Structure 1
Amino acid sequence: MWFSKTKDDIFNELKVDPLTGLSSQEAQNRLEKFGMNKLKGKPKKSLFSLLLSQLKDMLIYVLLGAAVITIFINEYVDAIIILMVVLLNAVIGVVQESKAEKAVEALQQMTTPRSLVRRDGEVKEINSEEVVPGDIVILDAGRYVPADLRLIESANLQIEESALTGESVPADKNSLKLFNDPKTPIGDAANMAFMSTLATYGRGEGVVVATAMDTEIGKIAKILDEDTDEMTPLQKRLDELGRILGFIAIGICVLIFIVALIQKRDLFEMFLTAISLAVAAIPEGLAAIVAIVLALGVTRMSKINAIVKKLPAVETLGSVNIICSDKTGTLTQNRMTVVKQYTYHKLTNIPSADSLLSADGDEADLIKSLVLCSDATYENGQGTGDPTEVALIVLGERFQLTKAALGARHKRISEFPFDSDRKLMSTLNEEAAGYRVHTKGAIDNLLKISTTALVNGQKVPLTEELKADYLKKTEEMSDAALRVLGVAFKDTDTVLAPDAMEKDLTIIGLVGMIDPPRLEVKASIMEAKLAGITPIMITGDHKNTAVAIAKELGIADSIEQSLTGAEIDEIPEDVFSSKINEYRVFARVSPEHKVKIVRAFKSHGNIVSMTGDGVNDAPSLKYADIGVAMGITGTDVAKGASDMILTDDNFTTIVNAIEEGRNIYNNIKKAVIFLLSCNLGEVVTILTSILFFWPVPLLPTQILWINLITDSLPAIALGVDPGDKDVMKKNPRSPKESFFAKGAGLRAIIGGLLIGILTLAAFYFGLAEHGYHLNSAQIPEEVMTYSRTMSFVVLAASQLMYSLTMRNPSKSIFQVGIFSNLYLVGAIIVGFILQLGVISIPFLANAFKVHNLSLRDWGIVLVFALIPLAVNEIIKIFMRMAEKKEDQ
């Protein structure tokens, strides 16, 4: 481990002189040996391979088989319709998937284009892709780190590593430190700088120890490159359904041929009938309808600030029962904020609102020193510099002690910059009668160099009692996960040298700051818990800080519910997985730990969502069932690896998206059960007529028309049904739950049987109207046409009306509201118009072998069509009565 080796050991190992750097020739040799310093990704899938991947589905196979058979029997129109459905589904999938795999590309774009290196004894600016192991790299504020470096020099160097470690405060770097523990976390390796992080303060030099895929960020890229795509619950359900329907279709065909042989029917006629039954058994429009419903759901979710990149992720989010959330920027505001200030015997809580405050006496002196002893700026709501110092300037703004005004009155004469050993910073500023030293930093260090304290505007000796008081308040703030800074000053008549500033100071007080939780997150977490969802915090921050935030938000109750990355490493993987449900907070974790945590939760059958914004979140975003990236603060890497992006970085949006996802799944389920009920009705109609040696009431073209046209519009309308207001009062759906759970299968069977029986009844009515019955030997063509028209229209009308009762499994159509889904009302009206057009427009009537009906016939059709609706509504009454008894 490079952080445990001395500088001389590293120079010897990498064969480089730090004063001259590598020679140009040696750099070229190493470039040829190690390759370019850029991240690599797996080859992109071609458009053709993406298209083929969309066709790997049992339901698609069955549809393609049906298309081949229909071409074979010269039913070209049917074949074209089926193929169009398959193609539409594939195109929608390709468009979504082609946007999804961009994580490694984003990682590549994060590498800085130019770097300062020492070669041939000179400092040169080169393309960062040409940096090689052994190069001496020069860093200064504002420059990205081009590769992993072992620092050899550091002067007040601070590096922003939040994207890699999750910490909101830049890390202090010290080239002199050594770390002998091989498990030292990335965030604690103060003598290292990592690729794609940003130097924010000071300067430094480092020797390149790893480039490209060997860097820490390169390891993340490797994880992202692994092929770990899994089927979502929706894909699994549809695949399972497709297999079932495929086997049913095959079984029906075999059954028909057996019946045909027994009944000695014409085999070719039975072959055609078998095709019609296979068509009846399979809802040809199902794949396309589900894709359309998901696409419409994606559009709806974009309006609530959630952009979904993969269609099935909409439904997956609805079944999530574990949300693993990054802390910084997701649960918190990603900005340090002063929340407490203390002068002797006076503790003040700073309100979170942005209202202006006032200060006088010791408090005014405290804030004045903090503002003047800062290099940060803050203008028009935007700060630059170290987040801690920005927080101090913002504090001054709140108390109307702005840096601009104070700086104009008290010009800075000299300074003693922050040093990680002293842990102090001092400035010398003009005063009316001389000069004043303002010092801030670690309170224990300040107490060592102070002799007096400011109490009620008077300087008093710094007694042991006073020291104990300040240390006690510091401890209390630290226990509350606050970062504490002490403040002191000294008046002088002369300009002091920097090393003379920090002597005989006067302690003013303390301030405590924290990266505060987002205001709306606590309520969102409560709502998530009520919905049966467990929120988990995963962060690179320190354990005490993480637990304090988790307690405040209601994620955890005690520190016993937390683990650090180092503690995770000590636990065997099987034990860790078995105890994973005991923990709510994971602190000081690496990217590998995050993946391990997600896997542990998934091993218990949970559907896991991971939210995050940094590069360090990308692997776990990809391994989770659904990864949710932040759109504002999120890196391109996180966005590329995620399934969904929140455009407002608001945790509340996640909860809203989960509600939307649940409703979308319920809507898809309604559409699927509706289609299966309709298709079962068609199967019952045809199979019954064959088994009893009756004439077949429906032709294959008529079934296709109903399946692809008449059924599809109500199915899509059900797919965009307004959400159930009570959906978040229920636990998440089990990922193993079938489409047919909770009585859905029984409803589909009852509906299908009713539709099938009524279609047969309409066919029988048509024959009886002309004096024939089902077992008549010779039935004239015109009588058959009339009877088939009646069964054809009754089948379509009963399915259209039945869609109204499918909107809710237990609430009546009046409780739901007949006109609360105008799309469905419109679909039913359009369906009737299309059906009227088919039987009344001559060329369509001839194509479908039907003819027009009289008003009397239409009246009979409507009576028949309302029966399945009425029966299902009666069943719902008994269901509601049963639910009331259970509640009592």
Structure 2
Amino acid sequence: MWFAKSREEVLQELNVNPATGLSAEEAKARLEKHGANKLKGKPKKSLISLFFAQLQDMLIYVLLAAAVITVLIGEYVDAIIILLVVLLNAVIGVFQESKAEKAIEALQKMTAPKTLVRRDGEVREISSEEIVPGDIVIVDAGRYIPADLRLLVTANLQIEESALTGESVPTEKNADDVHEDSHTPIGDQSNMAFMSTLATYGRGEGIVVATAMETEIGKIAQVLDEDIEEMTPLQKRLEELGKTLGFIAIGICALIFIIAFFQKRDLFEIFLTAISLAVAAIPEGLPAIVAIVLALGVTRMSKSNAIVKKLPAVETLGSVNIICSDKTGTLTQNKMTVIKFYTMNNLKSVPTEGTGFTPEPDERELIKSFVLCSDATYENGEGTGDPTEVALVALGEKYNLSRKKLHATYQRVGEKPFDSDRKLMSTLNQVEKGYRVHTKGAIDNILKISKYALVNGAVVPLTEELKANYLRIAEEMSDNALRILGVAYKDVDNLIGPDEMEQDLTVIGLVGMIDPPRLEVKDSIATAKRAGITPVMITGDHKNTAVAIAKELGIASSMEQSITGAEIDELAEEELTKRINNYRVFARVSPEHKVKIVKAYQAQGNIVSMTGDGVNDAPSLKNADIGVAMGITGTDVAKGASDMILTDDNFTTIVHAIEEGRNIYNNIKKSVVFLLSCNLGEVVAVFASVLFFWPVPLLPTQILWINLITDTLPAIALGVDPGDKDVMKKKPRNPKESFFAGGTAWRAVLGGMLIGVVTLAAFYYGLQEFGYQLGSKDIPEDVLTHGRTMAFVVLAVSQLFYSLSMRHSTKSIAQIGLFSNKYLVGAIIIGFILQLAVTSLPFLANAFSLQMLSARDWGLAVMFALLPLVINEIVKSTGRSQEKGSQN
């Protein structure tokens, strides 16, 4: 804790003379000991290792086993199709992962390339990688800090640390300070300078106390470097589903062998039947379809300014119930803005939009003095310089008092720069008759050096009553978390020196400024809260400022809902977890605190989203269930650590993304349940035929055709179903909720049973047309082929029709709109055409052991196929009637 030690102690501990710095020999020795001053990253995984990692899944294992068996029995086409599905799934996974981890590379780029150091008594410019602990670094405005420094000398030094602390305003540094409290937050360590922050004003010198991975930035890099491979809820559900289906397939195969053994069936026929059931039990296209649905959802989200880096993050958004948001640049505009100004007995709010306003005479003098007593520039909506001064110059632009015109008219001829002890800055400008001093700074210091006050255009003595009035207004503004600046002037006949400027001034008034909230954020937060999502602010800024913004946005209602980083340090991990739900604002926090907060929420069973833009947000972005980075103001580090990037930096986009995530999850659920219903129907048909010693109604190739060709298009179409308009009126899904909760399992079983029964009915009808029954022996091959063709067509077409009923668990097709999902209508039409082709084209019919059907048979097949859809719609209608009755 270098901030707790005096300069002398630090110099003695690092054995350095600040006047001469390290010798070349000593620097070389320390470089060998501590290594180069650059951040290290973990070795990247090879494409081969990424590829094999994609294959470690129960569903994939069963599919590969099915492929091996199909090769053994000579069904090579089946094996190729299964392997193509596995390959597609693996390639998609590799493509996504290989694009991901860019955070460490971005951190490495942030380190300063060149640095001024004192060595052997001379100031030299060296590569920042050569810096070692003990080096004396020269700091001036415009230079990045190359390592963590304990400051030795400071002259009005200010360092912009927003990327590390989240504060909008540069931090004033003072080498004389010593912070004895071991829990002093980074933002309050005024005697320290940190790697990759930027000096914006003044100058200083510091001694290097930490380099590379030992710096504060380095600690962040280490957190980012840790392997945090938490699976999303969807991944967990699909893994569970894969295991279940795998065990079911193995169990069914074993059961078939047992039944066939007692039935004394042919060994080769047993193999064929077993593989038929294994194929029927597993939705081969499931991994690919889920990946495709997610990819289509990602594409749709990118058009709404949300770029998703990792596909499963789409679904995770849908189950988020806590949004931890950084304040600066995310909830606020990341620029200081004057929102109130005061001249005696006249408090006014600054209009949020528009320019060309005409100020009152006293207001004109106030704004003119502030603009002339500043070094910032502001043109075309862009400013340079200190954020506070930029805000003052921007105020002038609103009231037709542009910096350019004022500085051209009233040329500066002298100045007394800002000093952190005086907390004042003064300039001397030429006016029509003589010169005028303009002084701005802390209002209490302005009042101390003032003798008069400007009241309604007249200069009057500054009485105690007037002083109290200014201080009262300043206190009211301060209570609303505004940063206060006062301004005064005096006219002189001749040029005067800096020592004479700040005496006997005339107070004009004061302004209050803040980093204001984004205009659209308040409505977005209200929408999120209605959807059962709790917004939380996490910031490096001061408590009062943070709570004021949080109250205005509707995040918090009282100061009791806030806690600081120092207060977090006093709590044990268990205590923080226990009390975490009481807080809505976390102020003056470090990167470590942010991670603690995220983990505490997760320990309570929450799905946590963390938004942010700075380097300081990266560890918490990485640890959150989903990290959301800002695309415009966000650092490369934050983007690299995140799962999703907002291209418009708009908090509202997060709410839209959550809505999209919920709908995508629902769509995936529809696709999965649809596929399971279809596969269950196949299992029912095949297993019943084995159990009752009937001929097998479907061959493995026929089942594969339906699973991979006919089913796939409706499943994908369900995956891009238009969103449910009521989805944001519901609470977030419980992350522990089963994939089959809410009657989903019942719907899958009902659909499967109905499809299985009509398939067997069609098979029976196909045999019965030629005078055979299901239990008949020695059925001719052509009759069997006809019966299987009927079963094949009815199975496929019933599934196509049934997809219409899968669009909503309770609403009817009429309520949703038959043509509201044109992709699904198209998929059904294409499915019909494919079924017609595979039964009518001789080379396809022969390949799949099928034959052409008559128009009458097609008509009966369609009637059979409509039954599951009609029955399911009746069940839904009954459910709606019962629900309406219970509400009444």
Q: Does the 8 A contact of 2:355 with 2:397 survive in 1?
A: no
Q: Distance in 2 between matches of 1:353 and 1:679?
A: 60
Q: Distance in 1 between matches of 2:775 and 2:188?
A: 87
1:136 matched to which residue of 2?
A: 136
Offset, 1:141:
1.4
SS at match of 1:125: strand
Offset, 1:217:
0.5
TM-score (norm 2): 0.99
Residue identity opposite 1:402 in structure 2: S
SS at match of 2:330: coil
Q: Distance in 2 between matches of 1:812 and 1:431?
A: 79
1:541 matched to which residue of 2?
A: 541
Q: Distance in 1 between matches of 2:177 and 2:505?
A: 30
Residue identity opposite 2:758 in structure 1: L
Q: Distance in 2 between matches of 1:5 and 1:778?
A: 97
Q: Distance in 2 between matches of 1:394 and 1:231?
A: 48
SS at match of 2:413: strand
1:706 matched to which residue of 2?
A: 706
Residue identity opposite 1:835 in structure 2: Q
Q: Does the 8 A contact of 1:161 with 1:198 survive in 2?
A: yes
Q: Does the 8 A contact of 1:257 with 1:267 survive in 2?
A: no
1:868 matched to which residue of 2?
A: 868
1:780 matched to which residue of 2?
A: 780
Q: Does the 8 A contact of 2:173 with 2:190 survive in 1?
A: yes
Is residue 568 of structure 1 aligned with residue 568 of structure 2? yes
1:486 matched to which residue of 2?
A: 486
Q: Distance in 2 between matches of 1:325 and 1:882?
A: 43
* Equivalent runs, 1:492-571 vs 2, <5 Å: 492-571=492-571
Offset, 1:882:
2.9
* Equivalent runs, 1:349-364 vs 2, <5 Å: 349-364=349-364
* Equivalent runs, 1:135-534 vs 2, <5 Å: 135-534=135-534
1:736 matched to which residue of 2?
A: 736
Q: Does the 8 A contact of 1:248 with 1:281 survive in 2?
A: yes
Q: Deviations over 1:746-786 (max 9, x none)?
A: 11111100000000000000011001101111111110010
Q: Deviations over 1:636-657 (max 9, x none)?
A: 1100000000000000000000
Q: Which contiguous aligned blocks of 4+ residues in structure 1 show a shift greater than 3 angstroms?
A: 885-888
Q: Does the 8 A contact of 2:598 with 2:608 survive in 1?
A: yes
* Equivalent runs, 1:91-130 vs 2, <5 Å: 91-130=91-130
SS at match of 1:532: coil
1:80 matched to which residue of 2?
A: 80
Offset, 1:360:
2.4
SS at match of 1:330: helix
Residue identity opposite 1:343 in structure 2: T
Offset, 1:885:
3.4
Q: Does the 8 A contact of 2:372 with 2:406 survive in 1?
A: yes
Residue identity opposite 2:776 in structure 1: S
Q: Does the 8 A contact of 2:355 with 2:399 survive in 1?
A: no
Offset, 1:886:
4.5
Residue identity opposite 2:440 in structure 1: K
Is residue 655 of structure 1 aligned with residue 655 of structure 2? yes
Is residue 675 of structure 1 aligned with residue 667 of structure 2? no
Identity %: 75
Q: Does the 8 A contact of 1:677 with 1:752 survive in 2?
A: yes
Residue identity opposite 1:465 in structure 2: E
Report the aligned-residue RMSD: 0.9
Q: Distance in 2 between matches of 1:112 and 1:101?
A: 22
* Equivalent runs, 1:9-88 vs 2, <5 Å: 9-88=9-88
Offset, 1:887:
4.0
Q: Does the 8 A contact of 1:6 with 1:178 survive in 2?
A: yes
Q: Distance in 1 between matches of 2:592 and 2:878?
A: 53
Q: Deviations over 1:153-175 (max 9, x none)?
A: 11111111000000011111111
SS at match of 2:807: coil
Q: Does the 8 A contact of 1:368 with 1:396 survive in 2?
A: yes
Is residue 641 of structure 1 aligned with residue 641 of structure 2? yes
1:840 matched to which residue of 2?
A: 840
Q: Distance in 1 between matches of 2:346 and 2:619?
A: 47
Q: Does the 8 A contact of 1:539 with 1:587 survive in 2?
A: yes
Q: Distance in 1 between matches of 2:215 and 2:766?
A: 78
Offset, 1:271:
2.1
Offset, 1:152:
1.2
TM-score (norm 1): 0.99
Q: Does the 8 A contact of 2:355 with 2:400 survive in 1?
A: no
Residue identity opposite 1:673 in structure 2: V
Change (3 A) 1:385 1:453: same
SS at match of 1:348: strand
Q: Distance in 1 between matches of 2:7 and 2:855?
A: 97
Q: Distance in 2 between matches of 1:623 and 1:887?
A: 43
Q: Deviations over 1:579-600 (max 9, x none)?
A: 1111100000000100000001
Q: Distance in 1 between matches of 2:882 and 2:174?
A: 70
Q: Distance in 2 between matches of 1:813 and 1:86?
A: 34
Q: Distance in 2 between matches of 1:412 and 1:752?
A: 85
Deviates more, 1:153-162 or 1:366-375: 153-162
Q: Distance in 1 between matches of 2:679 and 2:801?
A: 15
Is residue 588 of structure 1 aligned with residue 599 of structure 2? no
Q: Distance in 1 between matches of 2:882 and 2:333?
A: 48
Q: Distance in 2 between matches of 1:367 and 1:167?
A: 26
> Aligned residues, how many?
888
Residue identity opposite 2:610 in structure 1: M
Q: Does the 8 A contact of 1:249 with 1:277 survive in 2?
A: yes
Q: Deviations over 1:133-165 (max 9, x none)?
A: 111111111111000011111111111100000
Q: Distance in 2 between matches of 1:523 and 1:356?
A: 29
Q: Distance in 1 between matches of 2:678 and 2:350?
A: 64
* Equivalent runs, 1:732-771 vs 2, <5 Å: 732-771=732-771
* Equivalent runs, 1:792-811 vs 2, <5 Å: 792-811=792-811
Q: Distance in 2 between matches of 1:245 and 1:317?
A: 27
Q: Distance in 1 between matches of 2:354 and 2:571?
A: 45
SS at match of 1:619: helix
Residue identity opposite 2:262 in structure 1: I
Q: Distance in 1 between matches of 2:184 and 2:580?
A: 23
Change (3 A) 1:331 1:886: farther
Q: Distance in 1 between matches of 2:349 and 2:882?
A: 54
The gaps in structure 2 that reach 5 residues or longer are none
1:601 matched to which residue of 2?
A: 601
Residue identity opposite 1:585 in structure 2: V
Q: Does the 8 A contact of 1:99 with 1:309 survive in 2?
A: yes
Q: Distance in 1 between matches of 2:370 and 2:194?
A: 31
Residue identity opposite 1:293 in structure 2: V
Q: Distance in 2 between matches of 1:281 and 1:107?
A: 48
SS at match of 1:218: helix
Offset, 1:121:
1.6
